[in-house]
Amino acid sequence: MRLVYSLIFIVALALIFTSSIKKYSKNFYTIALIIGSGTIIYEIYRLVTDIKLQGFIGEFEKASMKGNFSIAFFLIVMFAGALNPKWKITKKLLSIRAESAILGSIFILPHAIMYLVRFIVKLLNHKPITTLYVIYLIVGLIAFIIMIPLFVTSLKKFRAKMKFADWKKIQRWAYPFYLLVYVHIVLAIFNDKEIDILKLSIYTVLFGGYFILKLIKNSKSTRAIKNI
Ligand code: HEM
């Protein structure tokens, strides 16, 4: 359910505060950085003391650590590019697409850093590691590396200095990024002792729906170009 609450929370935040996110984007990046740093500090503390946060704050921290906030922002970026651009909601999401990509990238930092640290700690302590675990970690790392140029070129400062064609070429890497993220998540779910069917279905409907909508949109625009 944490995934559902996180998705609702982030999408509602994006729709209610669209103009504030656009106008005061740096303030939102700072808040995301504070939450991300807090998550990293707490996770390091937890590695040493094994003390667990409880209640709302515990769930909030987990949503940050497990990449739920991040994935919600990336889903906004994805659907902004896949839904009908004439719709009011699409226009709203499109107006904060770059900001959402930046927030998604900031929010994934504690997830990527701390799971990498946990992996190294496991290796050093000779803890059992499954092949599937190593595979989905590598897939996640590749996705993270692809995300870096996507993140940098979403920043206004860098975007303004680039030719549109070069910028577009880099942004095409978003598709393999989304695909790798989906594979990473599915493999992580399959690596659990018990497969969470609800979680698997939610991610599959969202990513599958996105890819279908995108294919329909692309085939429509190819047909329109051919008819000119
Ligand atoms: C931009 C790249 C990445 C994205 C968007 C991403 C996103 C996600 C998401 C959404 C989940 C499912 C969490 C859930 O709903 O329970 C997940 C699971 C996981 N990811 Fe990533 N991830 C990325 C990169 C990485 C990297 C670089 C690592 C570590 C090196 C990593 C390690 C893990 C682990 C260990 C899990 C399983 C968590 C658990 O079930 O406790 N991820 N990832």
Give the pLDDT band of residue 70 (cuts 50, 70, 90).
Answer: very high
Would the pTM of this model clear 0.85, i.e. be above it?
yes
C-alpha 190 to ligand 1 mean position (Å): 13
Question: Using one digit for the tens of pLDDT, what is the confidence trace for 74-92?
Answer: 999 999 999 999 999 999 9
Give the pLDDT band of residue 48 (cuts 50, 70, 90).
Answer: confident
Give the pLDDT band of residue 194 (cuts 50, 70, 90).
Answer: very high
pLDDT of residue 228: 67
Give the pLDDT band of residue 223 (cuts 50, 70, 90).
Answer: confident
Question: Using one digit for the tens of pLDDT, what is the confidence trace for 104-126?
Answer: 999 999 999 999 999 999 999 99
C-alpha 130 to ligand 1 mean position (Å): 16
The yes-or-no verdict on residue 227 having pLDDT over 80 is no
pLDDT of residue 167: 94
| Averaged confidence pLDDT in the chain | 95
Question: Using one digit for the tens of pLDDT, what is the confidence trace for 172-189?
Answer: 999 999 999 999 999 999
Residue nearest ligand 1's atom 24 by CA = 140
The yes-or-no verdict on residue 34 having pLDDT over 70 is yes
What percentage of the chain has pLDDT greater than the value 90? 88
* Residue list, ligand 1 pocket, CB within 6 Å: 3, 66-68, 70-71, 108, 111-112, 115-116, 137, 140-141, 143-144, 147, 181, 184-185, 188, 199
Q: Which amino acid is at 10?
A: I
| CB within 8 Å of 186: residues ≥ 6 apart | 200, 203, 204
C-alpha 93 to ligand 1 mean position (Å): 24
C-alpha 184 to ligand 1 mean position (Å): 7
147 to 37, 79, 131: CA distances (angstroms): 19, 17, 24
82 to 50, 87, 206, 211: CA distances (angstroms): 43, 11, 12, 8
pLDDT of residue 29: 98
31 to 27, 38, 102, 109: CA distances (angstroms): 6, 10, 12, 14
